[in-house]
């Protein structure tokens, strides 16, 4: 891909005119995975805070 870009620049094409070749599958899968990871982290945080609240209540009852 880098060689193709160099050849296009040598032929007089602007860098903004260069078409990026390749599949979008990997970036989309990566983005979906990152979103899923963020939602999982938020879910785990909420679950942990609920457990902490429950345990504090249990300790205060004694």
The burial of 7, by beta-carbon neighbours within 10 Å (0-12 exposed, 13-18 middle, 19 or more buried), is given as: exposed
pTM, entire model = 0.57
Q: What is the pLDDT along the chain (62 residues), one digit of tens a residue?
A: 565 666 665 665 555 555 567 899 999 999 999 999 999 999 999 999 999 999 999 999 86
Could you give the CA distance from residue 37 to residue 29 in angstroms, rounded to a whole number? 12
R_g (Cα) of the chain, nearest Å: 25
């Amino acid at each position: 891909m880098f060689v193709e870009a160099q050849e296009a620049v040598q032929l007089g094409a602007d860098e903004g005119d260069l078409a990026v070749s390749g599949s979008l599958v990997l970036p989309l899968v990566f983005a979906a995975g990152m979103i899923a990871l963020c939602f999982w982290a938020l879910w785990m945080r909420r679950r942990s805070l609920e457990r902490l609240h429950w345990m504090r209540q249990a300790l205060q009852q004694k």
